A and B are shown apart, each in its own frame.
Chain A
Amino acid sequence: MISYDFEYFKPSSIDKAISLFQSLDQQGKEPIYFSGGTEIITLGRVNKIKTGAVIDIKEIPECLVLKRESNKLTFGAAQTLNRIRESQYFRFLNKAIGEIADHTARNKITLGGNMCANIIYRETILPLLLTDSQVIIAGPGGLKQLPLNEVFDQTLRLQRGELLIQIMIEEKESELPFLCIKKRRQWDVGYPLMTIAALKKDQQIRFAFSGLCSYPFRNEKMDGSLNNQALPKEARIEEAMRQIPAPVLKDVHGSEDYRRFVFKNTLLDVLDTIGGTEIE
């Protein structure tokens, strides 16, 4: 049970949602856009999220788009993870989705909700960062289309009142070879330790990580090290590990040393699988 009250709104258009946000914000209600709402409800229950109003975006047609057209894949931010997975449009994203929460929860969790969540894992970001996807963002000034890599830095950098509407990917990017490995400390359904995602393009491997640090990320320096064919694989990994851009997490799911151990060995598996040739 959520101990505090909030108002609930369900606008039917982008314009209505944006102006509603502005007016609720002016009234001091600290509004939040509500897509699947799972995090707002669970964190709200323990008073870690407080709001005076939620704006449900599930009736905005643009947020529900799910299509493959003109060599582009478009995913509405309010589409549930299960619907996206069942569309079978993007195998890499499907693999990441299949490891998030559980099947029933994925009937509620949405792509936009996962991308904009507070939870540190946010694994849907990984394939989207690696495939140079674009995001459509609505704000008081209208719509804008931007590369995800430009607007994602630890979190999706939205201005106050802006709303993520859609995510677009070139279809050919979705067909590239990939790997997405999620590691848990226990069982198949425990909370995650970390996820390593990799995509091979033009003989280079791109990497993105979740659960290693307190936010998901892609790092060009680490990519450079891991693709340095002049070094054996172990040395590439050692070099990449020296460039991790933030402190490695230590929490109930794993100590820093354990995470580093799992990270190193999983990277080795990735390089062995899609890493190409090693120069001895």
Chain B
Amino acid sequence: MNKSEITLNVNSEERSVYVRHSDTLLYVLREELGLTGAKPGCLNGDCGACTVDVDGQAMKSCLMLAIEAVGKKITTVEGLQNIPLKTAFIKKFAFQCGYCTPGFLMNSNSLINNYPQADDIQIKDCLESNICRCTGYKEIEEAVKSVLADGSTGNGNY
């Protein structure tokens, strides 16, 4: 098994790690860097539980090789600090079992940053990327809309 050393910028830190070229970003974040916020779900790009932010765009980390992320800025849910969106999720009861929550937070944060004036169609289009098997969709949508209505940005520490 051949491994190469790469450096990833994760949550504003430069992290050196040995990877196989065929390792997904999800695997490296969780198993090599100890960042277990991104959740393995379908591993097929369908469920969105593994969503992270790469250069300001929501990205399913099971659909990206770790080596593709060299030179890019990666933010995981661990890097989302002090953002109104987290408070909104708590206020609106936007989670039940919580497994999908990191993915929804990352996707919603990207939505708020990229489309601060998002209308209902854009919100639906973005949120359709994630699955919540507890079916907490309504509450999640309300949490996102409350942040958009406040005019707060998502940001986080990146």
Contacts and interface: CB of A to CB of B under 8 A. Distances in A.
Interface of A: 1-2, 4-8, 36-38, 41-42, 44-45, 54, 56, 58, 82, 98, 101-105, 107-108, 188-189
List the 6 closest pairs (A to B, CB-CB), nearest first: A104-B129, A8-B21, A102-B129, A2-B22, A104-B58, A107-B57
Interface string B52-75: 000001111011110110000000
Contacts of B51: 104
Interface in B1-51: 1-2, 20-24, 27, 43-45, 48, 51
Contact of A4 (B22, B24, B62): B22
B125 interface: yes
Contact of A1 (B1, B24, B125): B24
Given A1-B27, A2-B24, 14 more contacts: A1-B24, A4-B22, A6-B21, A8-B21, A37-B68, A38-B45, A41-B65, A42-B63, A82-B57, A101-B45, A102-B48, A104-B58, A104-B130, A108-B63
**In this complex, which of A101, A107, A188, A189 has the most chain B Cβ atoms within 10 angstroms of its Cβ?**
A107
A105 B24 contact: no
Contacts of A5: 1-2, 20-22
Contacts of A102: 48, 128-129
Interface of B: 1-2, 20-24, 27, 43-45, 48, 51, 57-60, 62-65, 67-68, 107, 125-126, 128-130
A107 B59 contact: yes
Contact of B63 (A4, A38, A82, A188): A38
A237 to B, nearest CB: 32
Contacts, number: 75
Contacts of A36: 63
Contacts of B59: 104, 107-108
A150 B71 CA distance: 39
Given A37-B65, A41-B62, A104 B24 contact: no
A232 to B, nearest CB: 37
B63 to A, nearest CB: 5
Contacts of B44: 42, 45
Contact of B22 (A6, A98, A107, A188): A6
Nearest to B64: A108
Contacts of A2: 22-24
Contact of B58 (A38, A45, A56, A107): A107
A82 B20 CA distance: 29
Contacts of A98: 125
A189 B64 CA distance: 22
Given A8-B65, A41-B62, A104 B107 contact: yes
**In this complex, which of B23, B27, B51, B68 has the most chain A Cβ atoms within 10 angstroms of its Cβ?**
B68
